[in-house]
Amino acid sequence: MYEKECNRFGREKMALTATVEYLKTIIKCQEQDIVQLRESNEEMTKKCKLIKELWALEEDKHSKATEIIKGLMQEIREKDEEISMMNDILNVAQAKASRTKTSLNSCTEENSVLCREIRKERESLKELEGLAEQRNDGDWVTLVGRIENLWVSAIELVGSYFNRDLSPSILQNQDAWARIKAPDYFKYQIPLPSSNSSAAKLMRTTIILAILARLLNRYIFEPTYIVDEESGLREFLLHQAASHSKKEAFTRAMLLNIFSEEQLSAADERVSRVVQDTMLHICDLLPKHDADMFERDLKHFTSGACEVWLSIQRLKERFEPSFELVQCEDFDWEKIQLGQAEPSELEDRGHSTVSLINPCMRNYTLKDSICRMDSHVRMGHWIKKRIELSGGK
């Protein structure tokens, strides 16, 4: 009985021992699980903390994004309003463009008509301009220089024949001296001693220069040679140049182109008239041979003057000579240099009356009531009146 109980207790003990070992094993496993769970819990706690931080950041970003979105939405609304306003403006502009296009079409038609009219007018103008002599601006420096050289040549020419002693027979020829005093070109009474003194040579040379200059002005220095010098055309064109220079230039060009060949022939005739009229006054002051030589040289000089003036006639501006004695601040009168005595030798010998002879001229251009002096031929000289009129020297 006892053994049975012992065996039974022994079996129960073994069963309980096995159970205890099993439970220990379970407890050990559970302890390991608890350790793992704790570690997992700590890790999850860290993750949760990180997630919370990230969530806070995301919430901040969301908040900022919300503000940005609100701003963008406001901008969108403003842009929508602006677009709406621009649409209104566009509609107005399109309406204007439509009206402008209609107007442009109308203007295009008008322009086409005007272009046809302009072409017709240009053809008419070209035809009209073809009737006028070609005008040019000219080289003023060259032309003025050529004018200046004309008077230098005139002084040399006249001086070479008359700035020398005359024979007694010529000095006593009253008809010869009467003819040189005859022209009514001068405003003043001009003393002309019939002697061979320096003053007498200067006086007769100066007077002959003055006669020649005024004959050139009468016959050569005309705006055109289509009519004679007494027609009044020169004064008419001069008045026109003072009021409307372009009209004068065109009218002059038209006249120059009328019978141009005949005008060239008329120029040759005018050269001959200058020579003839000059010789009429001075032919008896020279011996026959010298008179013929002077006439030949004078014709050559006058032809050169006419050639210069033909170029001046075709300028766009009006070039007008003047013989008026006007003192200018920027131009001084110069002495005629003929190898004569200095002015000190011509001092007044008891006579105070003086006369200023202006043998040559100044040159002006006229443009719409504006007169401009382009060159000044400075060849005046104070000459004492009555010097040697009673035979003094």
Q: Which of 350, 331, 367, 122 is nearest to 240 (CA)?
A: 367
CB 355 within 8 A of CB 189: yes
Could you tell me the CA-to-CA distances from 161 to 280, 281, 295 in Å, in that order? 16, 14, 11
> What 3-state DSSP class applies to 194?
coil
Long-range contacts of 176-184 (CB under 8 A, 24+ apart): 176/284, 176/285, 179/280, 179/281, 179/282, 179/284, 180/204, 180/207, 180/208, 180/211, 180/281, 180/282, 180/285, 182/281, 183/211, 183/214, 183/281
Distance CA 160, CA 205 (A): 9
H-helix segments, the chain: 2-130, 140-162, 168-171, 174-181, 198-215, 233-243, 245-257, 260-282, 288-313
* One pLDDT digit (tens) per residue for the chain, 393 residues: 777 778 888 888 888 888 888 888 999 898 888 988 988 888 899 889 889 989 998 888 899 999 999 999 999 999 999 999 999 999 999 999 899 889 989 989 899 888 888 888 887 677 666 555 555 566 667 777 888 888 889 999 999 999 989 999 999 988 888 888 766 666 556 678 888 998 889 888 988 998 998 899 999 999 888 888 888 888 888 888 888 888 888 888 888 888 888 888 999 999 999 999 999 999 899 999 999 999 999 999 999 999 999 888 888 777 787 766 666 565 555 555 555 444 444 444 333 323 334 444 444 455 554 444 444 333 333 333 333 333 333
Give the max Cα distance, the chain.
216
Distance CA 271, CA 266 (A): 9
Residue 136 DSSP one-character state: B
Measured torsion, CA atoms of residues 224, 230, 231, 232, in degrees rounded to the nearest 10: 90
Quote the pTM value.
0.60
Counting Cα atoms < 13 Å in the Cβ hemisphere of 84 gives 6
Long-range contacts of 69-73 (CB under 8 A, 24+ apart): none
